[in-house]
Amino acid sequence: MKSVALITEYNPFHNGHLYHAQQSKSTTGSEVTVAIMSGSFVMRGQPAIYNKFKRTRMALSVVDLVIELPIFASLSAGQYFAELAVKVADYLNIDHLSFGSESGNIDAFLTLAEDISNTEQSLQFAEKTKEGKSYPRILSELITNNELLSSPNNTLGISYIRAIQKWAPTIQPWTISRLQSAHHEEEIANLSFASGTSIRKSLQNANTQWKQVVPESVHPYYTIPNVSVSDTFHYLKYAILSQDTDSLNQIYTMSEGFENRIIQFIDQAKDFEHFMALLKTKRFTYTHIQRLLMNILLNFKQQQKPEAIHAVRVLGMTQKGQQYLKQLKHLFPERNFITQLNKQNAHFFKHEIHGTKIYNLISGEAANDFNTPVIRV
């Protein structure tokens, strides 16, 4: 069965995601659509607005198989996020990987990926890295006049292509043009398509604008309450105050010396937004700092970062997804395709299980990795 993978967060699921999934399937001629989806926490450094089980049900309105992206990838910058997502796709024997972009031109992405590889070998790149500049900033300074680098979605697309070339060269990359809404647009301005940011804002403001940009079939899953990053503050403060600088220094994505800044400002901060304003510096993006804070909340250490995929967690499937899974088990009997967590296989997903526990502590949800069977539709 020919397959296409989509690297997703569905935070939450909307018309743009529906369009991407449908177009990816038809463009690649695939029989099976697989969503590799962030679980309890997402790349922007936030708890997901709805838990991973509810978002799986949303996803199964259009895809055949939902696989949980390892949580370390979800709380990482583009390169490692893409690397682990591609390794999961390869573990699932995926034929095509399709991502959304502003340009929709795969040849332009392939050319830029080559330019970036050459740039990374240059002396200027090494010098700017020593200066402590961020990777995206270095690229924008050294590769000029390239519009693809101006959008976060395009930047992530480049990371997917480079990860495919390095880790899974048998996967064919594709890109689908995004329709009308900008990635971080704050307001719902279009009658059919909107960004996840604007939908989350609409939900948190308790207005119903989101209904026009979300498939009607998933409206019942859009419930109150929903979870926001500000809900993490008291738990985060406890996590910070419970550690010393040496311990904080070991946290995944911590930059040397930044732990001192965190300890310096935590007592002054009134809430999460105030803490972020106190911590912000020119050197680090807002998103980078938020991801770091979630890694502190979860107590994820640098040395725990996984490099390889030893098992995948199946969150949900359609009948076609189940057929594809059966085919995979036949082709790769040594691989671990886990549909139900138990004591024997839980060690493969200890970080994801921990992430769900902390998510439930913040949200008051009860569904966890052991009491929620694989979702079938």
Residues 220 and 77 in one domain: yes
Residues 234 and 320 in one domain: no
Domain membership of residue 149 (yes or no) is: no
Residue type, 212: Q
Instruction: Determine the pLDDT at residue 182.
Output: 46
Measured in degrees and rounded to the nearest 5, phi and psi for residue 64 equal -100, -25
Domain membership of residue 214 (yes or no) is: yes
Q: What is each CA distance from 249 to 109, 233, 242, in whole angstroms?
A: 36, 20, 13
- Which contiguous run of DSSP H or E holds residue 7? strand 3-8
Query: How big is the CA angle at 275 (ends 40 and 295), to the nearest 5 degrees?
Result: 35
Residues 222 and 343 in one domain: yes
Domain membership of residue 146 (yes or no) is: no
Residues 240 and 369 in one domain: no
Domain that holds residue 299: 229-304
Domain of 9, CATH number, reads: 3.40.50.620
Q: Which of 304, 333, 354 is the last residue of a domain?
A: 304
Please list, in sequence order, all residues whose beta carbon lies within 8 angstroms of the beta carbon of residue 282, skipping any fewer than 6 positions away.
none
User: Facing residues of 99 across strands?
Assistant: 175
Q: Which of 304, 320, 343 is the last residue of a domain?
A: 304
| pTM for this prediction | 0.91
Instruction: Determine the pLDDT at residue 154.
Output: 82
Domain membership of residue 142 (yes or no) is: no
Residues 289 and 324 in one domain: no
Residues 359 and 250 in one domain: no
Q: What is each CA distance from 216 to 15, 90, 213, 374, in whole angstroms?
A: 10, 33, 9, 23
Q: Which of 283, 304, 325 is the last residue of a domain?
A: 304
Structure tokens at 306: 């996984």
Instruction: Determine the pLDDT at residue 190.
Output: 54
Instruction: Determine the pLDDT at residue 225.
Output: 67
CA–CA gap between residue 246 and residue 272 (Å, rounded): 23
Label each residue of 152-183 as H, E or C.
HHHHHHHHHHHHHHHHCCCCEEEEEECCCCCC
Structural domain total, the chain? 2
Look up residue 369 and give its DSSP letter.
T
- For residue 65, the SS3 value is strand
Domain membership of residue 364 (yes or no) is: yes
Residues 328 and 186 in one domain: yes
Domain membership of residue 319 (yes or no) is: yes
Instruction: Determine the pLDDT at residue 193.
Output: 60
Q: What is each CA distance from 256 to 12, 62, 208, 260, 332, in whole angstroms?
A: 34, 44, 44, 9, 42
Residue type, 374: V
Residues 93 and 185 in one domain: yes
Residues 34 and 77 in one domain: yes
What does the pLDDT profile of the chain (377 residues) look like in tens digits? 999 999 999 998 888 899 999 999 999 999 999 999 999 999 999 999 999 999 999 999 999 999 999 999 999 988 899 999 999 999 999 999 999 988 788 998 998 898 888 899 999 999 888 887 877 778 888 887 677 777 777 888 999 999 999 999 999 999 998 875 444 455 555 556 667 777 777 777 777 777 778 888 888 888 776 788 999 999 999 999 999 999 999 999 998 889 999 999 999 999 999 999 999 988 888 999 999 999 999 999 999 999 999 999 999 999 999 999 999 999 999 999 999 999 999 999 999 999 999 999 999 999 999 999 999 99
